[in-house]
Structure 1
Amino acid sequence: MTAAWHVVVPVKPAAVGKSRLGGSGRAALAEAIARDTVEAACRAARVCEVVVVTADGAWADDPASRVRVVRETAPAGLGPAIRAGLAAVAGDRPRAVLLGDLPALRPADLDAALGLAEAVPLGLVPDAEGTGSTLVTARTGAPLEPAFGPGSATRHRAAGFVELEIAATSTLRRDVDTLAQLDAAAALGLGPRTAALRPGRSSRPVRAP
């Protein structure tokens, strides 16, 4: 298994992230979700670099864990953040964009998707509801122009992205915007930071290889 993929993760500043979660601890929970997602991506064997794009000063480069930060001067939105991250990947290399709200993500699930992505120019993993997208990929030689946002799975398919054969129960599909979705992620097993801050409940953190 070769660590060849450069994975871009856009991250909103915690102060404005995950507004639909509500509550006084929302900002800390938003940061925990993003950090658990990035940590899981860093532990995936097929990933050689995780490019975090953010205006949040709490994030910093961490060569030991393969994290590189592309700093925004101010939040510019999901599309501009993704474009900035992709532009920071030098040369024509396998690239992917992973949303930063997958607190149950297991490295093995990301590895499985990236392995399948090696067989198609452009790959797609829809979210658990089937309407959004959590991961898009482009192997060497394929231009990557993501179209995230509401209804993005349909737009990605229309643009030529091939849906990867990922199980409906994969942790890679379970993004979190609401407390109900956080509960669904908890049933899969949350990362340690998110588990510690999950409102009013406890959950065993994920410690997958």
Structure 2
Amino acid sequence: MQTDLVVPVKMLPEAKSRLRGAVRPEEHTNLVLAVLLDTVTAAANADGVRRVLVVSSDPTVASVLADEGFECVPEGGPGGLNEAFRHGAMLLRQSDRQSDKAGQIGALQADLPALRPSELAEAIKTADGRRAFCADRQTTGTTLLLSAAGEPLNPRFGVGSAGKHAATGAIALTEAWESLRCDVDTAEDLLAARDLGLGQRTSALLCAMAGGPIEC
């Protein structure tokens, strides 16, 4: 069974606001894009992942992703993160009728710059077609949500999302998988991701900024 992933991204002026200050102000957009590209590149290279669909109405995000060969569609309308996940899941189901019957849809956060394809693949394999989620380092948020095979994604992202997803019947995937759990919301998170080993683009950006707030 193959898994298709939805990865939502806000408009760049609004994206990762808590990361402002982790790099020089003029590099904030480049940091968001580098983190995104490292995330989707790792996801696309994970065994068991068939498609990675980014949902974003930002034209720069769409252009950069197209240049790198990734799919991007605009948001279906206002509604925030969960609506973006639902919209992407709907498009994936509509475009592949076979997945309506047996396929698995996953919701993956866009801020996992240290993500290792092997850890994502292991999480998907462990879920084994069941509704499941992986909590973040703090154990309260969610970095990955997987639908049951052929079932709705039913995302509940936001404050305390790990508990909300558990309440919907999703099983908690409890293996270590440090890179899958290390989403980046703050400068402290970025340091933790750096220590795990950043993806090529995020690492190159930080290394080019020698003397900045966070170095490679």
Q: Under TM normalisation by the shorter chain, which class is it?
A: 0.7 to 0.9
Partner SS for 1:108: helix
1:17 to 1, 15, 18: 15
1:27 to 1:166, Cα distance in 2 relative to 1, 3 A: same
1:83 aligns with 2:91: no
1:107 aligns with 2:117: yes
Partner SS for 1:89: helix
* Structure 2: gaps spanning 5 or more residues: 207-211
2:178 to 165, 170, 177: 170
| Superposed displacement of residue 75, structure 1 | 6.3
TM-score (norm 1): 0.87
2:194 to 180, 186, 201: 186
Match of 1:33 in 2: 35
TM-score (norm 2): 0.84
CA distance in 2, matches of 1:15, 1:73: 19
Query: Does structure 1 conserve the Cα–Cα contact (< 8 Å) formed by 2:104 and 2:129?
Result: no
CA distance in 2, matches of 1:32, 1:75: 25
Deviation string for 1:170-201 (max 9, x for gaps)?
20000000001100010000011111233444
CA distance in 1, matches of 2:215, 2:58: 28
1:96 aligns with 2:120: no
1:172 to 1:129, Cα distance in 2 relative to 1, 3 A: same
CA distance in 2, matches of 1:19, 1:63: 25
1:75 to 1:34, Cα distance in 2 relative to 1, 3 A: farther
CA distance in 2, matches of 1:158, 1:85: 23
| Superposed displacement of residue 131, structure 1 | 0.4
| Superposed displacement of residue 139, structure 1 | 3.2
Match of 1:7 in 2: 5
CA distance in 1, matches of 2:71, 2:51: 7
What is the root-mean-square deviation of aligned Cα atoms in Å? 2.1
Query: Does structure 1 conserve the Cα–Cα contact (< 8 Å) formed by 2:191 and 2:214?
Result: no
CA distance in 2, matches of 1:148, 1:84: 14
Partner SS for 1:128: coil
Question: 1:37-56, aligned counterparts within 5 Å?
Answer: 37-56=39-58
CA distance in 1, matches of 2:4, 2:110: 15
- How many residues in Structure 1 have an aligned counterpart in Structure 2? 198
| Superposed displacement of residue 87, structure 1 | 0.6
Amino acid across the alignment from 2:71:
R
Percent identity, aligned pairs only?
Answer: 40
